[in-house]
Amino acid sequence: MANLDTQFNIAKGKVGQYFANVEANSPAGCEIAVVLLELTGLEADTALLDHDDLAAVLAAANNEQTTMGRKVLVAADIALTVTDAADTSDITLVTAITWTAATGNSCGKLLFCYDAAGTNVDANMIPLLGYTFLAVPDGSDIVVNDHANGLILFT
């Protein structure tokens, strides 16, 4: 996976807690939505990070890559690890995220959004993290794995 390049302003200082909520399933039904944005029309990170919910992200110049669809991460899909000896805390994917036989427009950004109610309502989803994700769907599988430090490493 590419390095993290966007942490949305609304989520600064809260990302770990939102992922911890999902890992603990508290509140019940909360989840992380993985949303792909198309390369064409993608805002610069400096503009993107100012949006406070997914609806605002999509109301701007950004287009969701809907052909491949969203993925949902629940408690079984993520792990939080605190390493006292290294003074770190990291969030990792338990299994890779896979889009099978992916098609549609080219992707430019991969977003992780917190959905406290698990209702998939864009206006209620808080965008947390954005990764540059350049992928051209050609009918083969597209797979997202952690990089060496997981999704995000807090030090």
pLDDT by residue (tens digit) across 27-66?
A: 999 999 999 999 999 999 999 999 999 999 999 999 999 9
pLDDT interval class at 83 (50, 70, 90): confident
Phi-psi region of 53 (alpha: psi -120 to 50; beta: other; left: phi over 0): beta
The strand pair at 78-83 and 88-93 is best described as antiparallel
For residues 98-106, give the mean pLDDT: 97
Between CA 116 and CA 149, with CA 145 as vertex, the angle to 5 degrees is 85
- What is the C-alpha to C-alpha distance for residues 32 and 115, in angstroms, rounded to an integer? 6
136 vs 150, more confident: 136
11 vs 114, more confident: 114
Is the model's pTM score more than 0.85? Answer: yes
CB 129 within 8 A of CB 62: no
Instruction: Determine the pLDDT at residue 95.
Output: 85
